[in-house]
Structure 1
Amino acid sequence: MVATYASVPKKATNVSLAEGLLTEAKELGINISQAAEAGLAKAVSEARAARWQEENAEAIAYYNDYIEKNGLPLEAYRMF
């Protein structure tokens, strides 16, 4: 899930972009600031997820091993 920052204060910053990409985006009427913010929000979300997976790798491996050896808890009650 990508967080939304639409209603928070903004801070001006300088960003270097490929000239051709910037030209094409402007020709297509793309709001550069919104597109950059959306891309950055996605990158932050993905980095957080990767960090969480790294930090919890041991627990995930333990749980997967447990399920492999013992099956799913309450599996007898599954309807599918």
Structure 2
Amino acid sequence: MERALETRPRKATNVTLPVDVIEEAKGLGINFSRACEQALRDAIKAEQGRRWATENAGFIAAHNEWVEKNGLPLAECRMF
């Protein structure tokens, strides 16, 4: 996966960070670009999941209510 990240188009950007964080990361040999990219990917995934759950809350509640009343579909086929 790392190689695929290297070949994607990149865009330079500025990030403002506390000095102590920069110094500690440099001292540990952490690649700023990769660390920021991964943190942003994680934040994007979390936000997309939160939005999906919010947008589908009605369906989720209705489905849970149905399962509570009727049981799990195909429950008799479960092997556990």
TM-score (structure 1 length as normaliser): 0.91
Aligned: 1:70 with 2:70? yes
Equivalent residue for 2:10? 10
Equivalent residue for 2:56? 56
Deviations 1:27-47 (A, max 9, x none): 000001100010001000100
**Greater share of helix:** 2
Unmatched 5+ stretches in structure 1: none
Identity %: 49
How many residue pairs match? The answer is 76
Q: RMSD between aligned alpha carbons?
A: 1.0
Deviations 1:12-35 (A, max 9, x none): 000011110110000000001100
Give distance in 1, aligned partners of 2:79 and 2:28. 50
Q: Report the alpha carbon displacement of residue 75 of structure 1 after superposing the two structures with TM.
A: 0.6
TM-score (structure 2 length as normaliser): 0.91
Unmatched 5+ stretches in structure 2: none
Equivalent residue for 1:30? 30
Structure 1 stretches of at least 4 aligned residues deviating more than 3 Å after TM superposition: none
Return the structure number with greater relative CO, CA threshold 8 A, min gap 6: 1
